[in-house]
Amino acid sequence: MAEKAILYDSSKCTACRGCQVACKQWNMNDEAIPTIENGVDSRNWGSYENPRDLSPATWLKMRFTEYEGGGKLQWLFTRQACMHCTDAACVRVCPNGSLYHNEATGFVEYNKDTCTGCGYCVDACPFSIPRSDRNLVFGNAKMDKCTLCTTQGLNRLDAGMEPACVKTCPPNALIYGDRADMITAGKARVSALRANGSPDAVLYGESELDGLHVMYVLEHSPEVYNLPVNPKVSAASIAWKDVIQPIGWILGGLTILGLGINFIIARKAKMNREQPVKKEEEK
């Protein structure tokens, strides 16, 4: 199977937020939307953008940006959700493999049952996507993010369907298919935009982080949309998984071994001390 991808065309998006609703409904995150959801205020705050931020129950959010250029004020819309990077920082730092790549599609899948809630993925992601919910009563935590509709029991892709957000998009600003075809379609759209008054139009995600599986057609440069121009996996993330964590396991093993040896030596010393006492008692 060829790698798959979503192509988001910001120039076609109307910010109807149907994708947000479809995402919540399909992934069963819509049972209740409290006024404050995991610390994120969902009350009206004077903007069409709502809620204010992603949360463990909101995996996709449309971000609104006011942009002034050429004497005009323009709304720019950005799809904020997991980018499903090929070189994914979250996968690199996950200590037990709860985050991993689907070998066929290239998407970053997630096993919530094995997540320890360590939060390393939250800190490592260059797009600030994963969100963690800590239960203060029971002390447990879980991370959540877009699974691109591959959650166990809710897997649309295995059933031959498009992701829910793509299926519901009225202006076809979201399309889904083979990644190579999405790149071709994105480049064609960028060429059309440049020919029609948007000279800064770009295709974002073709090569960033070895290739994203959610790519954007943008009318302006990425930083205008609050996207990192050259996203990178931080050196700290690489060091954690490849250097610090293995050293930690080694040190932990040595500590356990040392405690074991210390226990044996202490026990033997105690037995040696007790032997003369027993012999004396026997006399």
Rounded Cα distance, 101 and 278, in Å:
64
Among the listed ranges 50-54, 137-141, 171-175, 279-283, which one has the minimum average pLDDT value?
279-283
Token pair listed for 192: 């059309």
Determine if the peptide bond prior to 51 is cis (ω within 30°).
yes
Does CATH number 3.40.30.160 belong to domain 4-233? no
Rounded Cα distance, 8 and 278, in Å:
83
Residues 52-75: what's their mean pLDDT?
89
Q: Are 55 and 64 in contact (CB under 8 A)?
A: no
Closest to 185 (Cα-Cα) out of 194, 176, 198 = 176
Closest to 109 (Cα-Cα) out of 136, 92, 91 = 91
* pLDDT at 168 > cutoff 90: yes
Q: Are 95 and 118 in contact (CB under 8 A)?
A: yes
Q: Give the pLDDT of residue 22.
A: 96
In terms of DSSP bridges, do strands 40-41 and 61-69 run parallel, antiparallel, or are they unpaired?
unpaired
Token pair listed for 220: 């302006």
Q: Are 204 and 216 in contact (CB under 8 A)?
A: yes
Rounded Cα distance, 108 and 150, in Å:
9
- pLDDT above 70 covers a percentage of the chain that reads 80
Supply the pTM of this predicted model: 0.81
Residues written for the chain: 283
* pLDDT at 86 > cutoff 70: yes
Encode pLDDT of 210-231 as tens digits.
999 999 999 999 999 999 999 9
Q: Give the pLDDT of residue 148.
A: 93
| 3-state per-residue secondary structure call for 196-255 | CCCCCCEEECCCHHHCECEEEEECCCHHHHCCCCCCCCCHHHHHHHHHHHHHHHHHHHHH
Residues 191-196: what's their mean pLDDT?
97
In terms of DSSP bridges, do strands 214-218 and 4-9 run parallel, antiparallel, or are they unpaired?
parallel
Token pair listed for 88: 């994914």
Encode pLDDT of 113-147 as tens digits.
999 888 899 999 999 999 987 654 445 788 999 99
Q: Give the pLDDT of residue 279.
A: 55
> What is the domain partition of the chain in residue ranges?
4-233, 234-283
* pLDDT at 246 > cutoff 90: no
Per-position b or e across 133-168, b if 16+ CB within 10 A of its CB? beeeeeeebbbbbbbbbbbeeeebbeeeebbbbbbb
Q: Give the pLDDT of residue 6.
A: 98
Q: Give the pLDDT of residue 137.
A: 47
* pLDDT at 69 > cutoff 90: no
